[in-house]
């Protein structure tokens, strides 16, 4: 049996824009995250599946009720860091602070134990594998940050692309659930993200995921809330208060956030209807119980 997982990096694009613009955290505006979260939760209810939501701390801080609702509807709550930093740009102590803050905020909201983490921008690479050890120190069971292919800004070429249990230098253990790549024509393709699912025709998306099943390969889909929106996203409505951007920037952001986006819901719905989906935690528990544990080197600070 192979399983798929739908993972959502739960963040608000307007709030992220505000942070890059002001170098400070501002409250999300415009009601987009409320609308998008409702669409995702309803789609999951309709198809009777549970997903994993990697919660960004800076958003949870302003929208605790939404986090509570996601948890109350039976989905797994995991971590996406506090301030959406590329983790390889932080010192070990800054990285620890970012993840611990995220863990405190989110576990205080839900009152439940948290098991998993995904770094923003998949920013665990060969330079900061020590983070895996930090995650186990914080009591986490799995990580889902490693892209097993070198991409322009992230990824580790040649990293095992299967879910696996690793033994770290301090003898702690962690399950890694890498992002999914598909092998065609002797090349690995990053097919499981919103951006790629958006561009591929529905028949091709269905074929890729059927091939995973027939090759006995688990798959991990990763999406963002905005990708589920039913409305045209006008970034101007989501700009943080007091921010202004050039016409060109507004136009290019609107294009980026809207082009072909409306096809995504139907494609994801079709996958939810055809395949067996489990949460990251269920997958990690299975791997932990059945894996032998491989030593992972290069994890020291």
Residues that bind Zn ion (CB under 5 A): 9, 11, 120
Q: Minimum Å distance from CB 84 to Zn ion? A: 6
Q: Minimum Å distance from CB 11 to Zn ion? A: 5
Q: Minimum Å distance from CB 18 to Zn ion? A: 15
Q: How many H helices and E strands in the chain? A: 12, 11
- DSSP helix/strand/coil, 294: strand
Q: Kind and range of the H or E element at 7? A: strand 4-10
Residue found under tokens 């799995």? 142
Q: Specify burial of residue 2 (Cβ count, 10 A radius: 0-12, 13-18, 19+).
A: middle
What does the alpha-carbon distance between residue 46 and residue 28 come to, in Å, rounded to a whole number?
A: 28
- Nearest residue (CB) to Zn ion, 165 versus 235: 235
Q: Minimum Å distance from CB 139 to Zn ion? A: 22
- Nearest residue (CB) to Zn ion, 163 versus 227: 227
Q: Minimum Å distance from CB 121 to Zn ion? A: 7
Q: Minimum Å distance from CB 119 to Zn ion? A: 9
Q: Minimum Å distance from CB 143 to Zn ion? A: 15
- Nearest residue (CB) to Zn ion, 120 versus 193: 120
Q: Specify whether the backbone of 4 is left (phi greater than 0), alpha (psi in -120 to 50) or beta.
A: beta
- Nearest residue (CB) to Zn ion, 11 versus 161: 11
- Nearest residue (CB) to Zn ion, 118 versus 275: 118
Q: Kind and range of the H or E element at 4? A: strand 4-10
DSSP classification of residue 18: H
Which pairing describes strands 164-167 and 173-176: parallel, antiparallel, or unpaired?
antiparallel
- Nearest residue (CB) to Zn ion, 7 versus 212: 7
- Nearest residue (CB) to Zn ion, 9 versus 229: 9
Q: Find all residues with CB under 8 Å of 209, minimum gap 6, and list them.
A: 4, 219, 271, 274, 275
Contact 78, 50 (CB under 8 A): no
Q: Specify whether the backbone of 211 is left (phi greater than 0), alpha (psi in -120 to 50) or beta.
A: alpha
What are the E-state strand segments in 245-293?
none
- Nearest residue (CB) to Zn ion, 17 versus 165: 17
Nearest to 131 by CA among 116, 119, 115: 119
Q: Minimum Å distance from CB 171 to Zn ion? A: 31
Q: Which two tokens stand for residue 7?
A: 């993972």
């Amino acid at each position: 049996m192979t399983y798929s997982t739908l993972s959502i990096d739960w963040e608000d694009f307007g709030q992220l824009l505000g942070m890059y613009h002001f170098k400070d955290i501002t409250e999300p505006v415009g009601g987009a995250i409320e609308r998008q979260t409702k669409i995702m939760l309803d789609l999951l209810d309709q198809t009777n599946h549970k997903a994993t939501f990697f919660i960004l701390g800076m958003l949870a801080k302003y929208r605790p009720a939404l986090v509570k609702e996601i948890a109350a509807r039976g989905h797994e709550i995991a971590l996406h860091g506090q301030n959406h930093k590329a983790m390889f740009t932080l010192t070990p102590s800054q990285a620890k602070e970012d993840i611990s803050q995220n863990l405190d905020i989110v576990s205080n909201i839900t009152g439940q134990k948290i098991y998993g983490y995904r770094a923003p921008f998949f920013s665990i690479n060969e330079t900061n594998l020590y983070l895996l050890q930090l995650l186990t120190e914080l009591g986490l069971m799995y990580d889902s940050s490693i892209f097993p292919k070198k991409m322009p800004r992230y990824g580790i070429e040649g990293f095992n692309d299967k879910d696996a249990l690793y033994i770290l230098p301090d003898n702690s253990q962690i399950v890694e659930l890498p992002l999914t790549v598909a092998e065609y024509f002797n090349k690995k393709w990053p097919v499981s993200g919103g951006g790629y699912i958006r561009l591929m025709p529905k028949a091709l998306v269905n074929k890729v995921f059927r091939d995973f099943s027939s090759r006995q390969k688990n798959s991990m889909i990763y999406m963002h809330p905005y990708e589920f929106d039913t409305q045209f996203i006008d970034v101007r409505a989501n700009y943080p208060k007091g921010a202004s951007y050039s016409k060109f920037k507004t136009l290019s952001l609107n294009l980026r956030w809207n082009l072909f986006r409306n096809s995504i819901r139907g494609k994801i719905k079709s996958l939810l209807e055809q395949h067996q989906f489990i949460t990251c935690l269920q997958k990690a528990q299975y791997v932990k119980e059945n894996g032998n544990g491989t030593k992972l080197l290069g994890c020291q600070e």
